[in-house]
């Protein structure tokens, strides 16, 4: 359970002892106890729908829109509406709504989410998934939550503009990559093929690159107001990056693609010449030494473990 907070006032950055409970418990960062209950109820509602109806089409929609709710409510609760707060809240709202409706429309077209094949009839596993999703939303939202919670309003700085630019580039990359892959898969001519169109020529996961970049941009744009222990909000983009690199993002998709196409020569060439995350020209990436790819470009052995061993000579 979480500790009930007597006062909705937020005094962040005073010392580590005051901030750590807020990083572990969402209650103070979200303001009043009633708001905390609303957030829990929102997650619980979709969990019940998924568990009782075996209906997993709303899962990603619930996660993405939860970001929107947190950003708006923390802004409204504090009600100071500084320019920096409004901009970062707007960024989260735009990102969350676009992703939520894109994923909802996509799953309605596809019919079902194969991630839940092992969960639909296993309530404990489903509960763990929803709990983890709540942690994901809370952790990644930390920078904008802390910005919205503060009274500090320093003048705009170069770092604000850098963060906004990172967000804008990341947002456009993620949106374009999502649409390109969806269009590729909808074409009957591409049935049974891996996506290598548009941005996917330069990165095996350009949508994840865009998402990571935009959330690091939000963190960068939040730094002018951070003080002392408030810098721990860097947990947000770090958590997201590690999640996509090592847990629920790239590893799962690499495993799926390797099992489908691992014996196809063209796919192995594509994988050898295409960066896993950061978009790069294939002729350049393909000639880089394996150690350089691994150390600087996230080409981890984890992503190749499902390729036929006799074919891995790079």
Residues comprising the chain, all counted:
314
What's residue 118's pLDDT?
Answer: 64
pLDDT at 38: 57
Q: What is the pLDDT of residue 129?
A: 79
Instruction: Check if the beta carbon of residue 253 is closer than 8 Å to that of residue 247.
Output: no
Domain limits for position 43: 16-248
The predicted model scores a pTM of 0.84
pLDDT of residue 30: 43
pLDDT on residue 55: 61
Residue 27 inside a domain? The answer is yes
> Tokens for 31?
């303001």
Q: For 175, what's the count of Cα atoms within 13 Å in the CB-facing half-sphere?
A: 14
Which residue in 173, 303, 306, 180 sits closest to 251, CA to CA? 303
> What is the predicted pLDDT for the residue at 31?
42
- Is the CB of residue 91 less than 8 Å from the CB of residue 218? yes
For residue range 237-292, list pLDDT tens digits in order.
Answer: 999 999 999 998 999 999 999 999 999 999 999 999 999 999 999 999 999 999 99
Tokens at 24, concatenated: 């572990």
Q: 277-309 as b/e, with b when 16 or more CB fall inside 10 Å?
A: bbbbebeebbebeeeebeeeebbbeebbeebee
- Scored b (16 or more CB within 10 A) or e, 220-239 reads bbbbbbbeebbebbbbbbeb
**Helix, strand, coil fractions of the chain, as percent rounded to 5:** 75, 0, 25
Closest CA to 15 of 240, 228, 172: 228
What is the number of helices (H) and of strands (E) in the chain?
14, 0
Kindly give the confidence (pLDDT) of every residue in the chain, 314 residues in length, as a single tens digit, with 9 standing for 90 and above. 443 333 333 343 444 344 444 444 444 444 445 445 555 566 667 667 666 656 667 788 888 999 999 999 999 998 899 999 999 999 999 999 999 999 999 888 876 666 666 666 677 777 787 788 888 998 999 999 999 999 999 999 999 999 999 999 999 999 999 999 999 999 989 988 999 999 999 999 999 999 999 999 999 999 999 998 999 999 999 999 999 999 989 999 999 999 999 999 999 999 999 999 999 999 999 999 999 999 999 999 999 988 886 544 44
Give a yes or no: residue 259 inside a domain. Answer: no
Domain presence at residue 44: yes
pLDDT at residue 134 in the model: 84
Q: Are 113 and 59 in contact (CB under 8 A)?
A: yes
CA atoms within 13 A on the CB side of 51: 15
Number of domains in the chain: 1
How far apart (Å, rounded) are the C-alpha atoms in residues 207 and 202? 11
Q: Is residue 207 part of a domain?
A: yes
Query: Does residue 283 fall inside a structural domain?
Result: no
pLDDT score at 126: 77
Burial (CB < 10 A; 0-12, 13-18, 19+), residue 85, is buried
- The owner of tokens 């691994």 is 294
- Rounded to whole angstroms, the Cα distance separating 235 from 239 reads 6
**CA dist., res. 91 & res. 168, Å (int):** 9
What separation, in Å, do the N-terminal and C-terminal C-alpha atoms of the chain show?
49
Measured N-to-C along each axis, helices 158-186 and 83-110 cross at an angle, to the nearest 10 degrees, of 10
What pLDDT shows up at residue 7? Answer: 32
- Looking up tokens 């374009």 gives 176
Residue 217 in any domain: the answer is yes
Look at the block and give the residue holding tokens 């092992």. 118
Read off the DSSP letter of residue 277. S
């Amino acid at each position: 359970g979480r500790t009930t907070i007597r006062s909705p006032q937020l005094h962040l950055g005073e010392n580590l002892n005051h901030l750590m409970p807020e990083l572990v418990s969402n209650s103070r960062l979200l303001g009043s106890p009633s708001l905390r209950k609303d957030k829990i109820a929102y997650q619980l509602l979709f969990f019940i729908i998924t568990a009782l109806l075996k209906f997993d089409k709303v899962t990603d929609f619930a996660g993405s829109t939860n970001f929107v709710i947190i950003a708006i409510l923390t802004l409204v609760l504090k009600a100071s509406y500084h320019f920096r707060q409004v901009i970062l809240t707007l960024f989260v709202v735009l990102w969350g709504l676009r992703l939520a409706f894109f994923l909802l429309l996509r799953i309605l077209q596809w019919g079902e989410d194969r991630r839940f094949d092992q969960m639909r009839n296993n309530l404990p596993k489903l509960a763990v998934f929803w709990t983890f999703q709540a942690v994901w939303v809370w952790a990644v939202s930390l920078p904008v939550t802390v910005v919205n919670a503060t009274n500090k309003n320093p003048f705009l700085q170069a770092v604000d503009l850098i963060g906004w630019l990172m967000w804008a580039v990341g947002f456009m990359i993620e949106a374009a990559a999502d649409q390109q892959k969806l269009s590729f898969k909808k074409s009957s001519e591409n049935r049974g093929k891996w996506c290598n169109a548009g941005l996917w020529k330069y990165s095996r996961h350009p949508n994840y690159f865009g998402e990571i970049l935009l959330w690091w941009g939000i963190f960068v744009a939040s730094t002018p107001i951070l003080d002392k222990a408030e810098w721990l909000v860097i947990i947000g983009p770090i958590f997201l990056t590690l999640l996509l690199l090592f847990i629920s993002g790239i590893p799962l998709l690499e495993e799926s693609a390797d099992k489908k196409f691992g014996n196809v020569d063209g796919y192995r060439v594509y994988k050898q010449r295409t960066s896993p995350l950061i978009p790069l020209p294939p002729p350049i990436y393909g000639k880089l030494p394996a150690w350089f790819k691994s150390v600087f470009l996230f080409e981890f052995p984890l992503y190749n473990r499902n390729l036929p061993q006799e074919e891995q000579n790079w």
